[in-house]
């Protein structure tokens, strides 16, 4: 009885301290009458210092007295953040995004960096437990509190904690209540294959060799009773009577040495809709250590979570308090959605052609994935991004009619705000759970176990988010694998470990169509990366290329473009803007491929001015994306999804993104927005170049991704000449557009091109029975000779390949107009570069 009174008094003191100000800034109570206190260490009160590797401990930084002010003269820092952003803001380095400054900053990753945080604790902790929670550190760190070594951690994506009662100083007197937290951030690893799956790859053809690292996620001090909730998972199960079960899996840790009978008090209610609160209370004997407590809660008239184009993204909140008699020991809450995900086989492919079903089924309804790769985080230096940036990007994704975002394996699992926004927006997430950008892993079992554990940590933290619907194991691992069967076994083991944590579909890698994947036993018609147009530029005109692709799903469909001129001025030096200078190459501009891509789209290279060139690259990217998207969507249900490469990229580059690093949509964004309309009227044609003597031929289709029928609709198509004068106009009726369908509705065969000189335009419009416009589309086509254009395209491509044999792909030395020396060979090389580049001042 005396212990109960003592605990009640402790809770009262803690709550009173929080109210009157004894608790420190940043300390909050999670809910009423709860002994859990959370103090967030996020913010600008951190300091940082550079040391040679190993020197920090030798010099005694970890033993600095907590009352001292020596760290006040260290560089200021912000947590969450990263080393480079802290140094840039302090004036130590120049902006790594600008020009070629990233090369100048490579010295940073050769040092260790010490971060310090001083704080006071004036509340009496009593018999409660206090711990430090680290949500994530990239990549390796050691931690001290008041000179006491707490431990170390490796792995960028796994959270970790330390109990700190033994090291924490508390007092009503200010100096005696001083504490100092010291974190030694090790120099980042330099070889990716040694940390694969546990750190974001820092290579690829859209980044330069500057390895990010930092304390990139929040750090908190948490006070609880001796028993605490370490995880809360809600696993939904939908019943036939419109009810659902919320299967609670509560991970509890009893830090005491004896078992205790504990009470669980929980509630479930709608988060973004009104509902009756469901209450649940039960008891359980909690043994020392960690254990899982399960409880099933029935929800009548359950509101399901749907992607935005199929229904409402309804969300619930589950709250659990852990009690010892009447005293709360801990509290946890989570947001979840009631939805079930399964996969079905795509029709049109045999099981000798594909290994996996690739049609996603949500709550019993097959969907077509309209997606783009999240080449993120929004900034590779995470200290530069903000919650507002995430909000704007998710809003742009939804406005582009995307129902999915793919986080693929060159990039890390995202932070909570990303999934929260996707949950709320009804945008699904298709994710490589951990970033595996190499197939050349060590076969040491202890090494592989670390990767599996990292993956389990990632999925455990994110599994309550209903937006997460599909898991993938690796990204292009077989393309870089020296041992096909080892890679297959590794990826399949990873899948089993992940699916033991969450009931979601899993596929081992993307793509599985390469030679090594076939050697490992996968089938010839697996998911394909549609990258050949770019990397093999000049081999096939766009319509010949995309129309040849016959696969069940396309995880990557890649075309490049240049950011807007206003954005270019933010990261390209003025004297390198036009004619393009070396910094364009450093940011991965491939001017040769962009020129040829422009030729394919417009019949000319469009290099007359900076604005003309920029606009043309974006329009060309948009045209190719549009036509490819429409090709795959017309094939549904044989093809069940397409993901563009990319929606964003994580620094200001000249590559894949539809939205640039400054969150500015390119012109191509609007082509994609049109092509991703859930209800889409579109035009199929075999070629983009037509002779004036030919009849223009094509087919009008309607693709409907909604589960809604449309009856008695009217469609109109208009063909216009160069000056947008109408050459032909026709309207026709469509009696019925079926739900979740793809249907040809009309054939076009018109002899109207004699008046066209260069370009002609086709616009389409679809109206419902009330006369409302429900879909619009338009196309620009060319007057020309398809065979001659194809021959010219191939010749231009061969010129590029010859130059790349000299410089290698991605070598921006070819951007220099001046060469050392003045021998004939170098001068000829200079002239040839300028001539074939096609840019004039």
Tokens standing for residue 694:
């030919």
Q: What angle do CA 542, 548, 549 make, to 5 degrees?
A: 100
Does residue 329 contact residue 225 with C-beta atoms inside 8 Å?
A: yes
pLDDT band at 829; cut points 50, 70, 90: low
pLDDT at 4 over 70: no
> If you average pLDDT over residues 253-277, what whole number do you get?
96
Taking the C-alpha atoms of 451, 453, 457 and 462 in order, what is their torsion angle to the nearest 10 degrees?
70
Q: Which of 649, 694, 683, 686 is nearest to 784 (CA)?
A: 694
pLDDT band at 813; cut points 50, 70, 90: confident
Task: For residues 38 and 221, give the distance between their C-alpha atoms in angstroms, rounded to a whole number.
Answer: 6
- Domain final position from 770, 786, 802: 786
pLDDT at 824 over 70: no
pLDDT at 815 over 90: no
pLDDT in tens, 708-726: 999 999 999 999 999 999 9
Does residue 629 contact residue 675 with C-beta atoms inside 8 Å?
A: yes
Residue 804 has a pLDDT of: 79
- Which DSSP helix (H) or strand (E) runs through 118? strand 112-120
Q: What angle do CA 104, 108, 110 make, to 5 degrees?
A: 115
Q: Bigger pLDDT: 279 or 25?
A: 279
Q: Which of 410, 493, 511 is nearest to 197 (CA)?
A: 410
Going from the C-alpha of 537 to that of each of 90, 462, 618, 795, the distances in angstroms are: 43, 39, 17, 10
Task: For residues 473 and 509, give the distance between their C-alpha atoms in angstroms, rounded to a whole number.
Answer: 5
Residue 583 lies in a domain: no
pLDDT at 827 over 60: no
Going from the C-alpha of 514 to that of each of 446, 638, 641, the distances in angstroms are: 29, 21, 20
pLDDT at 113 over 50: yes
45: CB partners within 8 A, 6+ apart: 117, 118, 119
pLDDT at 176 over 60: yes
Residue 357 lies in a domain: no
Residue that has been written with the tokens 């170049």 in this structure: 689
- 45 and 154 in a single domain? The answer is yes
- Domain final position from 193, 223, 253: 223
Residue 11 has a pLDDT of: 38
Centroid of chain to Cα 151: 31
SS3 38: strand
pLDDT at 31 over 80: no
**Cis peptide upstream of residue 206 (ω within 30 degrees of 0):** no
241: CB partners within 8 A, 6+ apart: none
CATH number, residue 524: 3.20.20.80
Does residue 412 contact residue 200 with C-beta atoms inside 8 Å?
A: yes
pLDDT at 5 over 60: no
Residue 12 has a pLDDT of: 33
- 104 and 213 in a single domain? The answer is yes
Q: Cβ of 366: how many Cβ atoms within 10 Å? A: 17
Phi, psi of 708, rounded to the nearest 5 degrees = -155, 135
Strand 160-163 versus strand 129-134 pairing type: antiparallel
- 317 and 403 in a single domain? The answer is no
- 252 and 375 in a single domain? The answer is no
pLDDT in tens, 537-575: 999 999 999 999 999 999 999 999 999 999 999 999 999
**Cis peptide upstream of residue 44 (ω within 30 degrees of 0):** no
Q: Bigger pLDDT: 840 or 616?
A: 616
Residue 437 has a pLDDT of: 77
Residue 6 has a pLDDT of: 37
Residue 145 lies in a domain: yes
pLDDT band at 494; cut points 50, 70, 90: very high
- 375 and 488 in a single domain? The answer is yes
Task: For residues 479 and 484, give the distance between their C-alpha atoms in angstroms, rounded to a whole number.
Answer: 10
Residue 825 has a pLDDT of: 53
Tokens standing for residue 142:
């050691």
Tokens standing for residue 302:
């359950």
pLDDT at 817 over 90: no
Order the strands of the 27-29 sheet from edge to edge. 27-29, 37-40, 219-224, 129-134, 160-163
pLDDT at 29 over 90: no
Percent of the chain past pLDDT 70, that is, above it, reads 93
The secondary structure of residue 100, as a DSSP letter, is T
Residue 809 has a pLDDT of: 79
CATH number, residue 26: 2.60.120.260
Domain span at residue 70 reads 2-223
- 183 and 279 in a single domain? The answer is no
| The dihedral sign for the CA sequence 24, 225, 12, 127 | negative
Task: For residues 216 and 440, give the distance between their C-alpha atoms in angstroms, rounded to a whole number.
Answer: 27
> If you average pLDDT over residues 216-236, what whole number do you get?
96
pLDDT at 328 over 70: yes
Task: For residues 5 and 82, give the distance between their C-alpha atoms in angstroms, rounded to a whole number.
Answer: 46
The secondary structure of residue 175, as a DSSP letter, is G
- Lowest mean pLDDT: which of 172-181, 430-439, 555-564? 430-439
Residue 531 lies in a domain: yes
Bridge partners (DSSP) listed for residue 681: 702
Entry pTM: 0.93
pLDDT at 697 over 60: yes
298: CB partners within 8 A, 6+ apart: 243, 244, 245, 246
Task: For residues 661 and 648, give the distance between their C-alpha atoms in angstroms, rounded to a whole number.
Answer: 7
> If you average pLDDT over residues 193-199, what whole number do you get?
94
Task: For residues 399 and 372, give the distance between their C-alpha atoms in angstroms, rounded to a whole number.
Answer: 13
pLDDT at 19 over 50: no
Residue that has been written with the tokens 């953040």 in this structure: 81
Residue 264 lies in a domain: yes
Task: Indicate the average pLDDT of the chain.
Answer: 92
Task: For residues 16 and 188, give the distance between their C-alpha atoms in angstroms, rounded to a whole number.
Answer: 44
Does residue 657 contact residue 663 with C-beta atoms inside 8 Å?
A: no
Going from the C-alpha of 683 to that of each of 282, 629, 699, 746, the distances in angstroms are: 61, 12, 6, 10
pLDDT band at 10; cut points 50, 70, 90: very low
Residue that has been written with the tokens 């970790």 in this structure: 160
**82-119 b/e with 16+ CB inside 10 Å = b?**
bbbbbbbbeeebebbbbbbbbeebeebbebbbbbbbbb
Residue 25 has a pLDDT of: 36
- 480 and 499 in a single domain? The answer is yes
| The dihedral sign for the CA sequence 740, 743, 745, 746 | positive
pLDDT in tens, 618-650: 999 999 999 999 999 999 999 999 999 999 999
Residue 17 has a pLDDT of: 35
pLDDT in tens, 397-412: 999 999 999 999 889 9
- 114 and 99 in a single domain? The answer is yes
Tokens standing for residue 250:
């509560």
Residue 613 lies in a domain: no
Percent of the chain past pLDDT 90, that is, above it, reads 87
Residue 636 lies in a domain: yes
Residue 774 lies in a domain: yes
Q: Which of 553, 314, 307, 557 is nearest to 429 (CA)?
A: 307
pLDDT in tens, 452-487: 999 999 999 999 999 999 999 999 999 888 899 999
- 762 and 778 in a single domain? The answer is yes
Centroid of chain to Cα 46: 28
- 214 and 239 in a single domain? The answer is no
Does residue 685 contact residue 603 with C-beta atoms inside 8 Å?
A: no
Q: Bigger pLDDT: 16 or 582?
A: 582
Strand 554-558 versus strand 529-530 pairing type: parallel
Per the structure, the count of domains in the chain is 4
Q: Cβ of 28: how many Cβ atoms within 10 Å? A: 12
Residue 764 has a pLDDT of: 98
- Domain final position from 762, 786, 810: 786
CATH number, residue 730: 2.60.40.10
pLDDT at 208 over 80: yes
Residue 36 has a pLDDT of: 64
pLDDT band at 814; cut points 50, 70, 90: confident
Q: Which of 645, 601, 633 is nearest to 741 (CA)?
A: 633
- 219 and 231 in a single domain? The answer is no
Does residue 750 contact residue 767 with C-beta atoms inside 8 Å?
A: no
- 545 and 631 in a single domain? The answer is yes
């Amino acid at each position: 009885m005396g212990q109960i009174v003592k605990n009640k008094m402790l809770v009262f003191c803690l709550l009173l301290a929080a109210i009157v100000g004894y608790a420190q800034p940043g300390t909050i109570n999670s809910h009423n009458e709860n002994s859990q206190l959370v103090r967030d260490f996020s913010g600008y009160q951190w300091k940082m210092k550079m040391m040679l590797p190993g020197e920090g401990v030798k010099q005694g930084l970890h033993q600095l007295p907590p009352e001292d002010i020596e760290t006040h003269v260290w560089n200021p820092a912000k947590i969450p953040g990263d080393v480079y952003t802290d140094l840039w803001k302090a004036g130590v380095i120049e902006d790594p995004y600008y020009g070629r400054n990233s090369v100048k900053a490579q010295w940073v990753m050769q040092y260790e960096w010490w971060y310090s945080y001083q704080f006071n604790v004036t509340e009496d902790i009593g018999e409660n437990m206090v711990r430090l929670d680290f949500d994530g550190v990239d990549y390796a760190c050691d931690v001290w509190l008041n000179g006491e070594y707490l431990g170390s951690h490796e792995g960028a994506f796994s959270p970790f904690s330390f109990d700190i009662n033994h090291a924490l100083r508390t007092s009503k007197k200010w100096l005696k209540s001083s504490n100092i937290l010291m974190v030694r951030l090790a120099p980042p690893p330099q070889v990716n294959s040694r940390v694969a799956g546990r750190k974001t790859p820092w290579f690829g053809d859209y980044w330069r060799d500057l390895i990010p690292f930092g304390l990139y996620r929040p750090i908190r001090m948490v006070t609880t009773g001796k028993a605490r909730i370490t995880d809360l998972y809600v696993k939904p199960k939908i019943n036939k009577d419109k009810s659902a079960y919320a299967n609670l899996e509560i991970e509890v840790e009893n830090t005491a040495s004896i078992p205790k009978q504990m009470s669980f008090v929980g509630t479930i209610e709608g988060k973004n809709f009104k509902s009756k609160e469901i209450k649940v209370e039960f008891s359980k004997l909690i043994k020392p250590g960690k254990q899982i407590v399960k409880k099933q809660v029935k929800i009548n008239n359950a509101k399901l979570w749907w992607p935005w184009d199929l229904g409402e993204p309804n969300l619930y909140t589950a709250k659990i308090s852990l009690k010892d008699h009447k005293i709360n020991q801990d509290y946890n809450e989570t947001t979840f959605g009631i939805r079930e995900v399964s996969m079905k086989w795509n029709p049109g492919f045999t099981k000798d052609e594909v290994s996996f079903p690739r049609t996603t089924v949500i709550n019993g309804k097959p969907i077509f994935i309209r997606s783009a790769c999240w080449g993120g985080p929004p900034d590779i230096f995470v200290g530069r991004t903000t919650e507002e940036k995430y909000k704007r990007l998710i809003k742009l994704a939804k406005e582009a009619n995307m129902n999915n975002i793919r986080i693929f394996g060159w990039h890390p699992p995202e932070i909570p705000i990303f999934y929260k926004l996707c949950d709320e927006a009804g945008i699904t997430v298709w994710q490589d759970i951990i970033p595996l950008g190499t197939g050349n892993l060590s076969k040491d079992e202890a090494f592989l176990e670390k990767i599996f554990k990292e993956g389990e940590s990632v999925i455990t933290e994110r599994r309550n988010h209903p937006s997460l619907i599909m898991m993938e194991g690796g990204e292009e691992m077989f393309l870089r694998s020296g041992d096909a069967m080892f890679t297959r076994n590794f990826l399949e083991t990873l899948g089993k470990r992940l699916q033991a944590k969450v009931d979601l579909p899993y596929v081992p890698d993307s793509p599985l169509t390469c030679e090594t994947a076939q050697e490992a036993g996968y089938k010839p018609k697996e998911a394909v990366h549609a990258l050949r147009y770019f990397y093999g530029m000049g081999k096939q005109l766009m319509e010949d290329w995309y129309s040849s692709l016959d696969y069940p799903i396309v995880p990557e469909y890649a075309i490049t473009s240049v950011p807007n001129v206003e954005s270019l001025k933010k990261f390209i030096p003025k004297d390198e803007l036009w004619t393009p200078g070396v910094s364009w190459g450093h940011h991965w501009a491939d001017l040769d491929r962009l020129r040829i891509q422009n030729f394919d789209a417009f019949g000319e290279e469009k290099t007359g001015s900076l604005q003309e060139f920029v606009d043309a690259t974006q329009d060309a990217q948009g045209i190719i994306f549009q036509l490819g998207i429409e090709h795959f969507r017309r094939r549904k249900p044989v093809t069940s999804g397409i993901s563009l490469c990319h929606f964003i990229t994580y620094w200001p580059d000249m590559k894949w993104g539809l939205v640039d690093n400054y969150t500015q949509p390119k012109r191509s964004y609007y082509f994609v927005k049109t092509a991703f309309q859930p209800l889409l009227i579109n035009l199929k044609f075999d070629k983009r170049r037509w002779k004036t003597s030919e009849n223009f031929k094509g087919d009008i289709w309607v693709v409907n991704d909604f589960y809604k029928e449309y009856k008695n609709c009217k469609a109109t198509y208009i063909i216009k000449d160069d000056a947008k004068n109408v050459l032909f106009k026709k309207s026709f009726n469509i009696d019925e557009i079926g739900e979740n369908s793809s249907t040809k509705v009309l054939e076009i065969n018109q002899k109207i091109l004699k008046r066209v000189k260069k370009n002609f335009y086709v616009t389409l419009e679809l109206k419902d029975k009330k006369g409302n416009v429900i879909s619009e589309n338009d196309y620009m086509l060319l007057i020309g000779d398809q065979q001659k254009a194809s021959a010219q395209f191939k010749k231009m491509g061969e010129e590029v390949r010859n130059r790349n044999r000299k410089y290698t792909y991605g070598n921006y030395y070819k951007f220099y107009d001046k060469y050392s020396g003045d021998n004939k060979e170098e001068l000829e090389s200079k002239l040839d570069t300028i001539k074939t580049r096609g840019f004039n001042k």
